[in-house]
Structure 1
């Protein structure tokens, strides 16, 4: 780990005691900073809060008192999910206190180079694919970030022999200033998280932060099929450009021709040999191939990974064939685009869809044509968005639509409405927080209920 002395004996405020907040607070304390952690929740029984108190970190819980920000505060490290409308953050920015996420600190301290992956959809799958492919390089990969372990935790033991393969959200990237990955990967930019960023332009600028500090010694792997990625990211980047595409032959990157995946005109494998279904996963595979190719990973190893990799947990995850039904858990599909792609991953199969969740104020009109195109024979709806999704399904003329209480009650209905040869698909198109702690919990409950029918 590189030395960082600029915050020694200075006040650092960590806003939000989540996974990243805990790791960042502990690290900054070890670097000699005077650390305060603030969280709106009661932390009196929180184990992380207790362990931080034991090493001298000051804990302020139960609210966000504005007096925490004063002229003595040198830095605020915020939880990525806390919006910039938070009064403490607004006051910090007004007083020119730097407001960053833990990604910024990890980037400053890491001896290992970063491969950063961002995009509206496909980040987790692509990150995991790159992690597996990098095992065929001269560097030992460590997969972290928005997936898995906090970056400020992993960089403490990472060396120059490692490569940190980091999934990065727009929330994380907006809080960076000097972050400098050696390879950045930008998959796509859709109309997501506008409640947080306000506009598509702000959202795209946050994504583009991944390449702002890159130079000609670095590489930008980008989706040349996406006009937004090209306009907002690639055209402004100083890094070497390594494109990937389904629409054109990118001889300096990754592409598909006559059903074969290529990297710089070297054939890797036939698309039909891939372990993951769906066109969206083909794009993820191309991105991973391009990133691994920058590090000289052999086409043989890339092919082996693409054949054997079966997907990230909760992202179009194959569960099992139960009573002749093929079960897929796509609980991580928390938006319309992700669910749309899942619906078209099973050509020739009839689908029973389980959907619904947190109401973020949007309609589901964009899902109507996708429901019409895909062979959806029945839909089971739950959660806050139940009525909105019901309206979309009626307009899409789905033959059978049922409202149920939750995922647990949806599964037996799905078996009753399906027959051998069908696909039962949990792909909610919504976040989980109205009924479940996380999309992971929602997906695990789905799998547990499915297993009762084995």
Structure 2
């Protein structure tokens, strides 16, 4: 079982704040301090020794999520009894009322989609459409958000942020799922689960999707001591989706998710979670459903880019491992799939795809993994072309898909990281969209 100690935040003295890390979070904290006329210093990394030596005038340390809590800098601060906090802690310290309308979302997969969908629901059901904010691990750092005691806040929280933050006391929070991830940081699956569990510290309404063993254990532990509801896409629960895609609250049918714009059964979990959080916020069920029907999803996640005659182009550049690509293929397995694979391969290669190889009409291989993937596909008798780069891959895939009279999908779902040819998966997806839109 997972046991953790709730971290209580010390009283904050913000006379001189030391910011650990100069990335997006660190710069956001620095700008917040400037707006508040708070003196701050920034430590840029291990090459920066200027503030490492002298902490005598520092009253508070704000640590960026990319910095390990075991690093000598936060450890030195703790030895000097200087509070080490996060931008999340700092945001809520501005006004205790903020947490009363804050909804936290975490999990290994689906966090961003669920958070964005919840934000979309709030935007399209609240009387004041500007009275809802999206941030945290998704796009906007939390300290860049306006302070509005009556607003709804949809906040994505990663395990890195939760590991470093103190008791959050959120109005509502959901854990979507847990699969092995970031174990190089957390050391073990048990510790990773413990960090995720911190989102529920002091939470008024806790929601857990019980479709994996780790999350089921967390649900069992939480419900003994706090208000905790279950979500599922595999069994009956407080909020659940059956095998047909029908959404229920307990045994009461609410709506069907199968015809929503978000495609793929893996998105049923994201939709039921967002619905449940909005329902807990006392929004009318009919308004929630109507808002969900207009949500088109996030860029780079099964993004419908364009349709030309019988060929639909799908940007799933966020699929950086074979498990994610598996979900994409399952979402379109009733169509002819022409898939672009490759990049910098992960340790599991194409393992998760092998049962789905029969659904692939042809593969177009790019990046560092192209040659290795070609060996795997040839062994399993899957047709492929060594395209090497994205432009010829899209061009050839479209040419082949046009020949097929049936509805066809040109699917960018690489099963690989992007860093061999692109800055990140976003750039890879944007270039795919640019190529498609020029056809």
Q: Which residues of 2 match residues 245-260 of structure 1 at below 5 A? A: 245-250=232-237, 252-256=238-242, 259-260=245-246
In the other structure, the counterpart of 2:341 is 355
TM-score by length of 1: 0.83
Match of 1:232, SS state, is: helix
| Inter-partner Cα distance in structure 2 for 1:9 and 1:18 | 22
- State yes or no: 1:405 paired with 2:388: yes
In the other structure, the counterpart of 1:6 is 12
In the other structure, the counterpart of 2:93 is 108
| Inter-partner Cα distance in structure 2 for 1:96 and 1:349 | 61
Summarize deviations over 1:75-128 as a string: whole Å, max 9, x none: 432332344565545655666655443222223325433101111111111112
Match of 1:166, SS state, is: strand
Aligned pair in 2 of structure 1 residues 101, 392: CA closer, same or farther (>3 Å)? Answer: farther
- State yes or no: 1:144 paired with 2:135: yes
Residue 169 of structure 1 deviates from its aligned partner by 1.5
| Inter-partner Cα distance in structure 1 for 2:299 and 2:59 | 39
The answer to whether the 8 Å contact 1:343/1:370 transfers is: no
| Inter-partner Cα distance in structure 2 for 1:293 and 1:27 | 33
- State yes or no: 1:239 paired with 2:217: no
- Structure 2: 5+ residue stretches without partners: 1-9
| Inter-partner Cα distance in structure 1 for 2:193 and 2:127 | 33
- State yes or no: 1:423 paired with 2:431: no
Match of 1:399, SS state, is: coil
TM-score by length of 2: 0.86
In the other structure, the counterpart of 2:121 is 133
The answer to whether the 8 Å contact 2:135/2:141 transfers is: yes
Aligned pair in 2 of structure 1 residues 230, 100: CA closer, same or farther (>3 Å)? Answer: farther
RMSD: 2.7
Aligned pair in 2 of structure 1 residues 234, 315: CA closer, same or farther (>3 Å)? Answer: farther
| Inter-partner Cα distance in structure 1 for 2:345 and 2:80 | 35
- Structure 1: 5+ residue stretches without partners: 41-61
| Inter-partner Cα distance in structure 2 for 1:239 and 1:134 | 26
Residue 240 of structure 1 deviates from its aligned partner by 1.5
| Inter-partner Cα distance in structure 1 for 2:290 and 2:258 | 13
Match of 1:434, SS state, is: coil
Matched pairs, number: 419
Residue 209 of structure 1 deviates from its aligned partner by 1.5
| Inter-partner Cα distance in structure 2 for 1:398 and 1:165 | 46
Summarize deviations over 1:429-453 as a string: whole Å, max 9, x none: 2332332222222111100011121
Aligned pair in 2 of structure 1 residues 100, 378: CA closer, same or farther (>3 Å)? Answer: farther
Aligned pair in 2 of structure 1 residues 451, 264: CA closer, same or farther (>3 Å)? Answer: same
Q: 2:279 aligns with which of 264, 275, 293?
A: 293
Residue 205 of structure 1 deviates from its aligned partner by 1.8
Residue 401 of structure 1 deviates from its aligned partner by 2.5
Residue 161 of structure 1 deviates from its aligned partner by 1.3
In the other structure, the counterpart of 1:162 is 151
Residue 366 of structure 1 deviates from its aligned partner by 3.0
Match of 1:76, SS state, is: strand
Aligned pair in 2 of structure 1 residues 359, 270: CA closer, same or farther (>3 Å)? Answer: closer
| Inter-partner Cα distance in structure 1 for 2:50 and 2:194 | 29
In the other structure, the counterpart of 1:44 is none
Q: Which residues of 2 match residues 188-207 of structure 1 at below 5 A? A: 188-207=177-196
The answer to whether the 8 Å contact 2:338/2:411 transfers is: yes
| Of 28-37 and 219-228, the range deviating more from structure 2 | 28-37
| Inter-partner Cα distance in structure 1 for 2:77 and 2:381 | 51
The answer to whether the 8 Å contact 2:210/2:219 transfers is: no
Summarize deviations over 1:111-162 as a string: whole Å, max 9, x none: 43310111111111111211122242578321111222110111xx332210
Residue 386 of structure 1 deviates from its aligned partner by 3.6
Q: Which residues of 2 match residues 40-55 of structure 1 at below 5 A? A: 40=45
